[in-house]
Chains A and B, each alone.
Chain A
Amino acid sequence: MSSVTVDHIPPHAGHDEHAHHVPRGWRRWVFATNHKDIGTMYLIFSFCMLMEGGTLALLLRTELFEPGIQFFQPELFNQFTTMHGLIMIFGAIMPAFVGFANWMIPLQIGASDMAFARMNNFSFWLLPVGAILLTASFFVPGGANASGWTMYAPLSLQMGPGMDFAIFAVHILGASSIMGAINIIVTILNMRAPGMTLMKMPLFCWSWLVTAYLLLAVMPVLAAAVTMLLTDRHFGTHFFNAAGGGDPVLYQHVFWFFGHPEVYIMILPAFGMVSQIVPTFARKRLFGYASMVYAICAIAILSFLVWAHHMFTTGMPVTAQLFFMYGTMLISIPTGVKVFNWTATMWRGSMTFETPMLFAIGFIFVFTIGGFTGLVLAVAPIDIQVQDTYYVVAHFHYVLVAGSLFALFGATYYWLPKWCGHMYDERLGKWHFWMTMISFNITFFPMHFLGLAGMPRRYADYAAQFTDFHQIATIGAFWFGLSQLLFAYIVIKAFRGHGAPAPANPWEGAEGLEWTVPSPAPYHTFVTPPQYEASH
């Protein structure tokens, strides 16, 4: 459909011209500066964290199978819920998206690598350090942080040394994110191939450009918030202690000023991925490219103005309640536009439903449900009833799991042939999709009912009337967790070469520079920038 002319692709993978070889052994990985290698490491790391965070979830869901305390005392249970959140957000979802950014952005814009290749290495290697700190915190006296991933003061001031481990981990992971964000912005702004204007850039790159600005803006705020926790805990400050002239609610303002943009950081790249996948399998260009760009920007800007919708029960003045309610409701408009545009892309396309498309459509379907419950939560009076209940837990798992995680799965299947040169097993991929989709809904849909009925979150034990829905959720959770082992098998199987060799472009409707290089992508690509002339 498009005509992308590329000036010059070297016939070999770029080995000839320089006395330069692909590094071998452990040095290749420890000293990696290649965006593909670093991307691969991010993705493997994030999958390991997904398993660790998932195990924590299964542990707590096991305790929640019946009322009463059977396996884990409440203080340990609170550690599981807290660390499940921290590990999934900072260890699994965010690094996974950065892994995709590393792999795909240079390929999509025709750059040879990221702008700061060595800083890229440092950004990655900080992650295992942070992960070790988080994991180790379980084994210090008092155990891991048990104050929720949100770490509200003053509760977090009561925690033992595990809290300090978590604070340092957040510092380290945050530094990694900030450096990654700088790298991505500079790469996208400065290193696009000649002829690729911003408004011709693949939407995945747009989504990451905006996400990177969000990261840059709010990770420092989180760093400040947890530093203030640290100094309140150990250095005699009272930012959050009323007796010293401080205010616990100050922590919430600072935290959520980070926290709300953070959730958009975790979804915008997913929007970008879906916007690549749907046009490919509909064999039709993305509907309303410009609107999609504006919608991403609108969502990002609005995300700074709504943080206190997490604080409707703290006792804000009426005008503040209204302001944040209206702002939050407004975000649904650009988000809705995106859903409509994806639907319009599918409309009168010529669709096939390989695994990436299944996940993309699944994403739209289930993310929209999550979006609707978000709109319900935005209505402050309703929020008063369901804040801090399972209704909120249902909402954010719908947008983060059925949202972000589904997009990550879909994008993995989509770009896997490019990474490893082989097609994945399509039949198994479909199994993975359907098992994931069905078990996800079994796990999280009943939580809406639990929340409306008043079941609070972060509870190790509950009234007997809630039992049936909890049991359904636990069974669904185990099925969901086991299904992800199938995903690992599929990926490993493809990487070991058990699948049809993939051509440069295995997907009939796919457009973009990444599909002009061989599969697997050579170690060095676009050593000389291509001349980009898409017929747009």
Chain B
Amino acid sequence: MKMVRGTLGMIALSWMTVAQARVQDMPGGPGVNQLNLHTGVTPIARDIYSLHWMMLIICTLIFIGVFGVMLYSIVRHRKDRGYKAAKFEEHLGLELTWTVIPFLIIIGMAIPATRTVVAMKDTTSADLTIKATGYQWKWGYEYLDGPATGVHFLSNLATPQDQIDGKAPVSNTYLMEVDQPMVVPVNQKVRVVLTAADVIHAWMVPELGVKQDAIPGFLRDTWFRADKPGTYRGQCAELCGKNHAYMPIVVEVKSQEDYAKWAADQKAAMLAATEDPNKTWSKDELLAKGRQVFATNCVACHQANGQGIPGTFPALNGDTKFVLAPMQGQIETVLNGHPGTAMAAFRDQLSDTQIASVITYTRNAWDNVGKGPDPVVQPSDVKALR
């Protein structure tokens, strides 16, 4: 039955594929039908590329050697060709040879590999250090030194849901585009310090030759030195829950001057965005902002219609425990999460204004409008409960 469905699905979608425009290579990401690693834009990535070619060539040669012999044997040493079986069962010299020679080959492979391992592990003397935090399901970046010190932001998947649902054709950067990329200067050793807020994630950018697990409660680090400006893309590489495929990484490598300018712009924007926590917002302002915050942070689990997924993610529409109840319970839930579940603590990810607005939105959306106490929540209410 499932095979019938699958086959029908395949036929239907093949039709659609043919009807869509040809996809191009992704800039800074995978090429169409790419066969091999990319050379990459860092010395480490290039080292790995060369190591891989070395391994591939040696293994192919051995493969041809062994299976050439076997193929010859299959053709000649057959009963139907009248070949009579020999009787030998051992040959010490031969067996020693084909133990020792592979051993030497392995040593030959291990020497250049060792050099690269040591180089990859050396994160000292970095020019710039950035902290990357894995969340379910996005990355957060914080600049720890240099001209952008203190700049921090979240980096969310920017692909429209319509493309995922098949209602719009997928773009060339499908699933590998974000709202705010990590920005770094070219030709500088960038040390990336990694951690996670909930489960293990992994930060991977193939063009940079980098992959490092982000482990909750621990710090790990890695480094890269990009030698070409451009945009480079990667994805989360450790299963982290339902949206594991939807938390990409984009790194923009800028010239030194452009980087300095970006840093200055970021700091100015952060200053401007610092809001008066005691300002009273209008209900319409809160609802407009809240709708945006909900779409970026809450829709993945609670769904756009607020119904959640029965048995897994609770509905917000008609919920009488937190949403249609005094505001304190819902504010605390959004701030602190529910440990042991997928409900994260948003206290460090969202500002008071963002939290107040998204809570206000849920209290006035779908069928909740007009029901329940505290339909409007102000940022000062959230601040009071931190």
Whether chain B is bound by chain A comes out as yes
How would residues 52 to 95 of chain B score, 1 for a CB under 8 Å from any chain A CB and 0 otherwise? Answer: 10011001001100110110011001111001111111110011
Is A531 an interface residue when CB atoms closer than 8 A count as contact? no
Is B346 an interface residue when CB atoms closer than 8 A count as contact? no
Q: Identify which of residues 130-168 in chain B touch chain A, using a CB-to-CB cut-off of 8 Å.
A: 163-166
How would residues 466 to 483 of chain A score, 1 for a CB under 8 Å from any chain B CB and 0 otherwise? Answer: 111101001100100110
Kindly list chain A residues whose C-beta atoms are within 8 Å of the C-beta of B268.
none
Q: Identify which of residues 311-357 in chain A touch chain B, using a CB-to-CB cut-off of 8 Å.
A: 313-315, 317-318, 321-322, 325-326, 329-330, 332-333, 336-337, 339-341, 343-344, 346-353
* Complex Cα spacing A63 to B121, Å: 38
B198 near A458: Cβ-Cβ < 8 Å = no
Is B35 an interface residue when CB atoms closer than 8 A count as contact? yes
* Complex Cα spacing A58 to B4, Å: 11
In the complex formed, the residue of B with least CB distance to A383 is: B211
* Complex Cα spacing A346 to B71, Å: 10
Is B109 an interface residue when CB atoms closer than 8 A count as contact? yes
B120 near A384: Cβ-Cβ < 8 Å = yes
In the complex formed, the residue of A with least CB distance to B137 is: A74
B246 near A461: Cβ-Cβ < 8 Å = yes
Q: With A350-B83, A465-B25 known to touch, is A318 a contact of B118 (CB < 8 Å)?
A: yes
Question: Which of B16, B85, B165, B242 has the most chain A CB atoms closer than 10 A to its own CB?
Answer: B85
With contacts defined as CB atoms under 8 Å apart, how many contacts are there between chain A and chain B in the complex? Answer: 347
Is B318 an interface residue when CB atoms closer than 8 A count as contact? no
- Set A291, A381, A463, A475: member contacting B47, Cβ < 8 A: A381
Kindly list chain A residues whose C-beta atoms are within 8 Å of the C-beta of B245.
74, 456, 459-462
Chain B nearest Cβ from A535, distance in angstroms? 12
B213 near A452: Cβ-Cβ < 8 Å = no
B165 near A69: Cβ-Cβ < 8 Å = yes
Kindly list chain B residues whose C-beta atoms are within 8 Å of the C-beta of A22.
none
Is B217 an interface residue when CB atoms closer than 8 A count as contact? yes
Is A289 an interface residue when CB atoms closer than 8 A count as contact? yes
Kindly list chain B residues whose C-beta atoms are within 8 Å of the C-beta of A469.
33
* Complex Cα spacing A238 to B241, Å: 20
* Complex Cα spacing A322 to B116, Å: 11
Q: With A325-B113, A465-B34 known to touch, is A350 a contact of B55 (CB < 8 Å)?
A: no
Chain B nearest Cβ from A180, distance in angstroms? 31
- Set A141, A332, A352, A455: member contacting B78, Cβ < 8 A: A352
Q: With A155-B241, A375-B59, A478-B6 known to touch, is A318 a contact of B121 (CB < 8 Å)?
A: yes
- Set B48, B110, B118: member contacting A382, Cβ < 8 A: B48
- Set A317, A333, A467: member contacting B106, Cβ < 8 A: A333
Chain A nearest Cβ from B272, distance in angstroms? 35
Is A148 an interface residue when CB atoms closer than 8 A count as contact? yes
B51 near A313: Cβ-Cβ < 8 Å = no
Q: With A318-B118, A454-B29 known to touch, is A152 a contact of B239 (CB < 8 Å)?
A: yes
* Complex Cα spacing A343 to B77, Å: 12
A70 near B85: Cβ-Cβ < 8 Å = no
Q: Identify which of residues 111-135 in chain B touch chain A, using a CB-to-CB cut-off of 8 Å.
A: 113-114, 116-118, 120-121
A467 near B211: Cβ-Cβ < 8 Å = no
Is A65 an interface residue when CB atoms closer than 8 A count as contact? yes
Is A40 an interface residue when CB atoms closer than 8 A count as contact? no
- Set A59, A143, A348: member contacting B2, Cβ < 8 A: A59
A78 near B239: Cβ-Cβ < 8 Å = yes
Is B238 an interface residue when CB atoms closer than 8 A count as contact? yes
Kindly list chain B residues whose C-beta atoms are within 8 Å of the C-beta of A285.
87, 89
Is B236 an interface residue when CB atoms closer than 8 A count as contact? yes
- Set B5, B106, B117, B171: member contacting A381, Cβ < 8 A: B117
B211 near A313: Cβ-Cβ < 8 Å = yes
B86 near A348: Cβ-Cβ < 8 Å = yes
Question: Which of B25, B117, B120 has the most chain A CB atoms closer than 10 A to its own CB?
Answer: B117
**Interface of chain B, main secondary structure:** mixed
In the complex formed, the residue of A with least CB distance to B122 is: A318
Kindly list chain A residues whose C-beta atoms are within 8 Å of the C-beta of B35.
449, 452-453
Q: With A65-B10, A158-B342, A248-B216 known to touch, is A379 a contact of B63 (CB < 8 Å)?
A: no
B204 near A456: Cβ-Cβ < 8 Å = yes
- Set B13, B94, B116: member contacting A70, Cβ < 8 A: B13
Kindly list chain A residues whose C-beta atoms are within 8 Å of the C-beta of B14.
471
* Complex Cα spacing A290 to B99, Å: 14
Is B384 an interface residue when CB atoms closer than 8 A count as contact? no
* Complex Cα spacing A243 to B337, Å: 15
Is A134 an interface residue when CB atoms closer than 8 A count as contact? no
Chain A nearest Cβ from B2, distance in angstroms? 6
A384 near B211: Cβ-Cβ < 8 Å = yes
* Complex Cα spacing A434 to B216, Å: 48
Kindly list chain B residues whose C-beta atoms are within 8 Å of the C-beta of A368.
63, 66-67
Kindly list chain A residues whose C-beta atoms are within 8 Å of the C-beta of B99.
333, 337
B98 near A337: Cβ-Cβ < 8 Å = yes
Chain A nearest Cβ from B320, distance in angstroms? 20
B29 near A465: Cβ-Cβ < 8 Å = yes
Q: With A154-B216, A241-B217, A313-B202 known to touch, is A467 a contact of B311 (CB < 8 Å)?
A: no
Which of B172-180, B181-189, B328-336 lies on the face that meets chain A?
A: B172-180
Is B243 an interface residue when CB atoms closer than 8 A count as contact? yes
- Set B9, B78, B311: member contacting A71, Cβ < 8 A: B9
Q: With A346-B74, A454-B29 known to touch, is A329 a contact of B109 (CB < 8 Å)?
A: yes
- Set A66, A74, A372: member contacting B242, Cβ < 8 A: A74
Kindly list chain B residues whose C-beta atoms are within 8 Å of the C-beta of A353.
74, 78
Is A218 an interface residue when CB atoms closer than 8 A count as contact? no
Is A361 an interface residue when CB atoms closer than 8 A count as contact? yes
Is A73 an interface residue when CB atoms closer than 8 A count as contact? yes
* Complex Cα spacing A459 to B109, Å: 32
Which of A101-109, A223-231, A385-393 lies on the face that meets chain B?
A: A385-393
Kindly list chain A residues whose C-beta atoms are within 8 Å of the C-beta of B80.
352
Is B32 an interface residue when CB atoms closer than 8 A count as contact? yes
B209 near A384: Cβ-Cβ < 8 Å = yes
In the complex formed, the residue of B with least CB distance to A536 is: B89
A313 near B32: Cβ-Cβ < 8 Å = no
A453 near B31: Cβ-Cβ < 8 Å = yes
- Set A70, A146, A369: member contacting B166, Cβ < 8 A: A70
B163 near A242: Cβ-Cβ < 8 Å = no
Is A284 an interface residue when CB atoms closer than 8 A count as contact? yes
* Complex Cα spacing A474 to B114, Å: 38
B59 near A372: Cβ-Cβ < 8 Å = yes
Q: Identify which of residues 350-378 in chain A touch chain B, using a CB-to-CB cut-off of 8 Å.
A: 350-353, 361, 364-365, 368-369, 372, 375-376
Is B220 an interface residue when CB atoms closer than 8 A count as contact? yes
Kindly list chain B residues whose C-beta atoms are within 8 Å of the C-beta of A337.
95, 98-99
B312 near A75: Cβ-Cβ < 8 Å = yes
* Complex Cα spacing A321 to B121, Å: 9
* Complex Cα spacing A445 to B260, Å: 46
How would residues 227 to 253 of chain B score, 1 for a CB under 8 Å from any chain A CB and 0 otherwise? Answer: 000000011111111111110000000
Kindly list chain B residues whose C-beta atoms are within 8 Å of the C-beta of A55.
2
Q: With A382-B48, A455-B30, A459-B244 known to touch, is A350 a contact of B77 (CB < 8 Å)?
A: yes
In the complex, the 8 A-B pairs of residues with the closest C-beta atoms, listed nearest first: A242-B217, A315-B220, A453-B34, A62-B6, A141-B311, A350-B85, A348-B86, A459-B245
Instruction: Write the residues of chain A forming the contact surface with B, with a CB cutoff of 8 angstroms.
Output: 55, 58-59, 61-62, 65-71, 73-75, 78, 141-143, 146-148, 152, 154-155, 157-158, 160, 233, 241-243, 247-249, 282-291, 313-315, 317-318, 321-322, 325-326, 329-330, 332-333, 336-337, 339-341, 343-344, 346-353, 361, 364-365, 368-369, 372, 375-376, 379-382, 384-385, 387-389, 449, 452-469, 471, 474-475, 478, 481-482, 509
Add 20 more A-B contacts to A242-B217, A339-B66, A376-B59 (CB < 8 A). Answer: A75-B309, A141-B312, A241-B217, A242-B216, A249-B215, A289-B89, A313-B212, A314-B220, A350-B84, A353-B74, A375-B55, A379-B113, A384-B210, A385-B48, A385-B206, A388-B238, A457-B239, A462-B245, A465-B31, A478-B6
